[in-house]
Amino acid sequence: MSRRSPVWHPFTQHGLNEPIPLVERAEGAALYTADGRRVIDAISSWWVTTHGHNHPRIVAAIREQAERLDQVIFAGWTHEPAEALARGLLEIMPGGLDHVFFSDSGSTSVEVALKMALGFWGNRGEGRHRILVMQHSYHGDTVGGMSVGERGVYNRAYSPLLFDVETIPFPHPGSEQETYDALDAACAGGDAAAFIVEPLLLGAGGMLMYPPAVLAEMRAICARHGVLFIADEVMTGWGRTGTLTACEQAGVVPDIMCLAKGLTGGSMPLAVTLASAPIYEAHLSQDRARMFFHSSSFTANPIACAAAGANLAIWREEPVLARVARLAEREAEGFARIAERHPVKNLRQCGTVIAFDLEVADAGYLSQLGPRLLASFREQDVLLRPLGNTIYLMPPYCISDADLDTVFAAIDHALTSVIGSG
């Protein structure tokens, strides 16, 4: 019997035979592997873990709910963990988002948002069908999510499946007006259904950042033309940008908002798509053909909803944003020291997300520098996953000063040993 694992891992080229550590348990900001290593999780296990791994309050809620109700169909049935979570979300999210639709992941929350937008216009008998997107964006790996994301290496092989969109240029500093003009012209065409954005921070696109004033102006342009505004807060929500949601910093209330990742504190897969009353009411009818046709088997799984309910309680009762602010300060100090020693460029920060780029000939996700950096971090027991030539940090809010110093030291060592700077 072969000892080679049959598992096919995501975003992994198995032909390179890179080591894949076996993680046995986790606690706080650390992962513990089968070979006895303690690895600092400096990217929150793909941006999901907020308060730390195996948070006692969330674990207790999962255990209690699992012993009561594990799963039930959600089409025409309901349960208290979902009802309580929906009410709790509407209490803390921007006013004007009045309805909560459950799904399983960030990608599916985006699919739901796109279908809501098209259903809104279709049920009103208006021929708006075009989706506007921002350059360099990423909204997931389902067909709809890929369609509204940047076209390139992520989805080139699947291009026959993707629907056409209109791309608005990214608002680089000094070129914001170009973005506004392009968005205004696209909205004025009369057939635009919605504009979907990652507010303030584009994740997989290279940790690109833009200020709240730009987000506010883009929202205003859409509002003037009656184009629906979809905020994909899958990564930016739950404190990552320094506030509960990124939209909050711009005073923006979208028509539709997508949330996932940190919704359960990163413990369970769950997502929601929040919608304004007009979106919901466009689907409300005595005609069953006008209902919203979307679901999955595990929609609003009770155990996942209980985990999310515990996450909400943590946000209500503990000083989460104070922890976020303190972490952001510590990250800025550490990266400033690195920038003094190494030739990094475009040092940038949005809340607890901080990044810089390295000057290389083959910049981008497939930069040959990426695997070398990844190997260096792995050897130092730090989980960092560079986006090509972009190094970023996004740890759980509970990370200690000592662990954060270890992460900075690992970055410093990698830059010295891999690219020979310092």
| Tens-place pLDDT, residues 143-197 | 999 999 999 988 999 999 999 999 999 999 999 999 999 999 999 999 999 999 9
Q: What is the pLDDT of residue 422?
A: 64
Report d(CA 30, CA 40) in Å as an integer: 5
The token pair at 227 is: 């184009």
For the residues 96-106, what does the mean pLDDT come to? Answer: 97
Model-level pTM?
A: 0.96
pLDDT score, position 302:
98
- Identity at 113, one-letter amino acid code: A
Percent of the chain whose predicted confidence (pLDDT) is above 90: 93
Question: What are the two backbone dihedrals, phi and then psi, of residue 202, each rounded to the nearest 5 degrees?
Answer: -95, 115
Rg (CA), the chain: 22
Evaluate if residue 353 carries a pLDDT over 60: yes
Q: Environment class of residue 63 by beta-carbon count within 10 Å: exposed (0-12), middle (13-18) or buried (19+)? A: exposed
Q: Find residue 132's DSSP bridge partners.
A: 166, 195
| DSSP strands (E only) in 69-126 | 99-103
Terminus-to-terminus CA distance in the chain, angstroms?
A: 48
Domains and CATH numbers, the chain: 14-54+321-418 (3.90.1150.10), 58-317 (3.40.640.10)
